[in-house]
Structures are given as structure tokens and as C-alpha cells.
Amino acid sequence: MSNPRFRRASYCNSSAECVEVAQDAMSRVVLIRDSGASGRPMIRISYEQWRDLLDQVKSGPHL
């Protein structure tokens, strides 16, 4: 992904610390980064890992 387009949740305001994601359908890769540290390294995972992560977050005991 040469120039990823990151997005964040709509309820995340400019002063909040948020997670941003960029998806690349061609390579089936998801990039994850901290919005407050956009120059730092990103986490790179597959679509399948992204789906598993979201499923775990949605069903986790922290909710």
C-alpha cells in the first residue's frame, strides 16, 4: 500500500486518542495506527485477522 487512506470512527473527535485503519482490497491487508502517533510504525494484518480481531472486541467481556 503506497499511499493508504486512513479512517477513524465518526465519534472520534480531534482531541481524542483513536485508532485509524486503512484497507487495501487488492492485497487483502489492513493497516492499523494510533491517530496521535501517525509517524510511528503501523500494524499490518490480513483481512481475516482484522475480522477475527473485530469479532473478539465485539464479544469480549469488556463490553
Note the pLDDT tens digit of each residue in 15-38: 667 889 999 878 889 999 988 887
Mean per-residue pLDDT of the chain: 85
**Contact criterion met (CB below 8 Å) for 57 and 50:** no
What pTM does this model have? 0.77
pLDDT tens per residue across span 32-53 = 998 888 788 999 999 999 999 9
29 exposure class (CB count in 10 Å sphere: 0-12, 13-18, 19+): middle
Maximum Cα–Cα distance across the chain: 37
